[in-house]
Amino acid sequence: MRQMEEGEVVTPGEVLGKASELRAGKGAYVSPETNLVYASLTGRRSILSPAPDSNDQRPIVEITGHKAHSVVPEPGCTVIARVKKVMAKTASVDIMCVDAKSVREKFTGIIRQQDVRATEIDKVDMHTSFRVGDIVRASVLSLGDARAYYLSTAKNELGVVSARSAAGAIMIPISWTEMQCPLTGQIEKRKVAKVQT
């Protein structure tokens, strides 16, 4: 087991030590199966001395959470995300901001075909709605599976907010479904977010 430094930043699920040697304080818990102490949140690890009159003289391990890390996507939140993969039925994104606050931890989102727009859901083509590298505004539907949040772009103000053309220029939205390259005039299909004024 590696020796951890005091003040080291830890993430949820990281092993902090053996329960026989440490007591779990704030931000930590003991797993009865492994008898190990784990971090339950992201933050800095600190070791506190037990009270002199305490029967249990094991040091207490605590995790003090970062304020900047407290932003977590929740159902109903609006997020800004970058598209990293587009498949036939889903697009996978990295969430960068939650309600205008940037996140430092990595959160993954999935936009499913049925959540791209509110109408003609069966006609949605993921590859003409999003491309890798697009910046998307979406709302959080639910926690989805353990690895990703389910996101929706099925409102007028949600969808692609920024995209680069093949020529490398930032494209200009010209309709709900199209963006144009200012350099080449090339038009590309997207699920465009309505510009908020």
pTM over 0.85? The answer is no
How far apart are alpha carbons 130 and 177 in whole angstroms? Answer: 10
Cα separation of 131 and 25, whole Å?
45
Contact call for residues 115 and 93 (beta carbons, < 8 A): no
Lowest model confidence (mean pLDDT) among 11-15, 116-120, 124-128, 150-154 = 11-15
Query: Which residues fall within 8 angstroms of residue 25, CB to CB, at 6 or more apart?
Result: 48, 60, 61, 62, 63
pLDDT band at 32 (very low <50, low <70, confident <90, very high): confident
Q: Which two tokens stand for residue 88?
A: 């036939």
Alpha-carbon gap, residue 2 to 30, rounded angstroms: 18
Domain spanning 9-68, CATH class: mainly beta
Domain 71-189 class, CATH top level: mainly beta
Highest mean pLDDT among 40-44, 165-169, 183-187, 191-195: 183-187
Q: What is the structure's pLDDT at 69?
A: 47
Asked if residues 161 and 191 have their Cβ atoms less than 8 Å apart, the reply is: no
Q: Give the residue extent of every domain in the chain.
A: 9-68, 71-189
> What is residue 2's predicted lDDT score, i.e. its pLDDT?
46
Tens-digit pLDDT profile for residues 61-81: 998 875 544 578 888 999 999
Q: Do the domains 71-189 and 9-68 match in fold?
A: yes
Terminal-residue alpha carbon distance, the chain:
55
What does the alpha-carbon distance between residue 9 and residue 7 come to, in Å, rounded to a whole number? 6
Q: Are 42 and 11 in contact (CB under 8 A)?
A: yes
In 68-165, alpha helices (H): 126-129
**Confidence at 9, pLDDT banded by 50, 70, 90:** confident
What does the alpha-carbon distance between residue 190 and residue 122 come to, in Å, rounded to a whole number? 16
